[in-house]
Amino acid sequence: MPLFEAKNISKQFASTVALDKVSISVPEQCIYGLLGPNGAGKTTLLRIINQITGSDSGEMFLNGKKLTPDDVLGIGYLPEERGLYKKMKVGEQALYFAQLKGLTKVEAMKRLKYWFRKLDIVDWWGKKVEELSKGMQQKVQFITTVLHEPKLIIFDEPFTGFDPVNANTIKNEILFLRERGATILFSTHNMASVEELCDNITLINKAKTILEGRVDDIRKQWAANEFDLVFQGNVKIEENGMYKILNHQYENDLSTIRLRTAGNIEANDILKTAINAGRVVSFNPALPSMNEIFIRIVESRN
């Protein structure tokens, strides 16, 4: 049974349709990516799940039960536009949000100390939020979102504003949260993070779901019939009835050739011809990056 389910959510703003019968099903203890180009409706869906906006139609379930207003208390939500008091000091602010989440002061302090140390922002405790850079503010916000250890954590574009080092830190923290039993739903258009993090995804474009499933399955599905063949030295091979050459690269004394096989050709047959052409270093089915899939699908739809 999925931890969270949204069925046929629709939402219209004035004359524009923001969501058209979008459904998602988030299994327990997984990292679920909500992808899509700008304006696809990702944020609207997240806001509906957090009951900030009402949906026009559709149903939502948490643990198989219909979502009630009180369920929001068990969700951690990091909005895209950061919600912090600018004039307030970082530590006080984090403590305030923790207490609003129902933690006692003592417990909140204990957990805050842990997280501040973990994200290396102890020095910022006494500073005002407005003195912090965007990335730093985001770290603070990240802590306030996860501090009360919610079962379901929702991040809206968690990586915008971070440099690669900090983005990596947050990535690791998200993986860590899942290990500790949390389920994470996040929206992004950063495809690299999807490959590294997500177990499942839903791709939304123009208010509609156009792709969903396990990341591994999707990549395999789109990878059908493409292989990367690597030779030692500068080796050239000719196209024949079995495959087409999509790309040829020679670098560091290695030749990398991408092939697309025609019809139901066995990998073994390709390898047999390859062995005759030179010294094979590796032979792998080529998985397209999520980025490629994303662009291909969105462009074909448009």
Partner 1 sequence: MNKIPVIIKREYLTRVRKKSFIIMTILAPVLFAALVILIPFLMVSDKGDFKKIAVIENGPGLLKNALKDTENEKYVYLENTSVSDLKKNFEQAGYYGILYISSSDLMIVPNAIELISKKQPPPILLEHIEGAVEKEIEKIKLEALNIENLDEILKNIDATVQVKTIMIDDEGATKETSTDIAMVLAYLGGFLMYMLVFLFGAQVMRGVIEEKTSRVVEVIVSSVKPVQLMMGKIIGIALVGLTQFLIWVVLIAAIVTFVNTTVLKDKDMTEIVQNLPQNVMSEGQQAVAVEQVNQISPELAEFSKFFDNAMNQNWLLIITSFIFYFITGYLLYASIFAAIGSAVDNETETQQFMLPVTIPIIIGLMVAVGTMTNPESSLSFWFSIIPLTSPIVMMARIPFGVPAWQIAVSMFLMVITFIAFVWMAAKIYHTGILMYGKKASWKEMWKWLRYSG
By CB under 8 A, tell whether 38 contacts partner 1: no
CA distance 39 to 80: 13
Q: Is 23 exposed, middle or buried (0-12, 13-18, 19+ CB in 10 A)?
A: middle
Number of residues engaging partner 1 in binding (CB under 8 A): 28
Dihedral of the alpha carbons of 76, 53, 35, 81, in degrees to the nearest 10: -70
Closer Cβ to partner 1, 125 or 283, answer by number? 125
| Contact by Cβ (8 Å): 188, 204 | no
Q: Compute how many other C-beta atoms are within 10 angstroms of the C-beta atom of residue 17.
A: 14
By CB under 8 A, tell whether 82 contacts partner 1: yes
Q: Among 284, 35, 300, which Cα is nearest to 46's?
A: 35
CA distance 140 to 137: 5
Q: How far is the CB of 170 from partner 1 (least distance, A)?
A: 17
Q: How far is the CB of 83 from partner 1 (least distance, A)?
A: 4
For 58, the token pair is 């559709």
Interacting residues with partner 1 between 145 and 164 (CB under 8 A): 145
CA distance 199 to 26: 10
| Contact by Cβ (8 Å): 47, 34 | no
Q: Is 121 left (phi over 0), alpha (psi -120 to 50) or beta?
A: alpha
* 33-41, 43-51, 166-174, 241-249 -> range binding partner 1 (CB under 8 A): 43-51
Q: How far is the CB of 80 from partner 1 (least distance, A)?
A: 8
Figure out which of the listed residues 65, 81, 106, 165 binds partner 1, where binding follows CB under 8 A: 81
Q: How far is the CB of 227 from partner 1 (least distance, A)?
A: 47
Closer Cβ to partner 1, 75 or 215, answer by number? 75
Figure out which of the listed residues 6, 22, 62, 75 binds partner 1, where binding follows CB under 8 A: 75
By CB under 8 A, tell whether 265 contacts partner 1: no
| Contact by Cβ (8 Å): 76, 150 | yes
R_g (Cα) of the chain, nearest Å: 23
Q: How far is the CB of 111 from partner 1 (least distance, A)?
A: 15
Q: Among 176, 166, 85, which Cα is nearest to 120's?
A: 166
By CB under 8 A, tell whether 26 contacts partner 1: no
By CB under 8 A, tell whether 47 contacts partner 1: yes
Interacting residues with partner 1 between 83 and 122 (CB under 8 A): 83-88, 96-97, 99-102
Residue 49 DSSP symbol: H
Closer Cβ to partner 1, 153 or 270, answer by number? 153
The sign of the dihedral angle between the CA atoms of 111, 115, 118, 121 is negative
Closer Cβ to partner 1, 44 or 255, answer by number? 44
| End-to-end CA separation in angstroms for the chain | 35
Closer Cβ to partner 1, 108 or 211, answer by number? 108
Interacting residues with partner 1 between 269 and 298 (CB under 8 A): none
By CB under 8 A, tell whether 50 contacts partner 1: yes
Q: How far is the CB of 86 from partner 1 (least distance, A)?
A: 7
* 60-68, 81-89, 112-120, 195-203 -> range binding partner 1 (CB under 8 A): 81-89
What is the binding site for partner 1 (CB under 8 A)?
47, 50-53, 72-73, 75-77, 79, 81-88, 96-97, 99-102, 141, 144-145
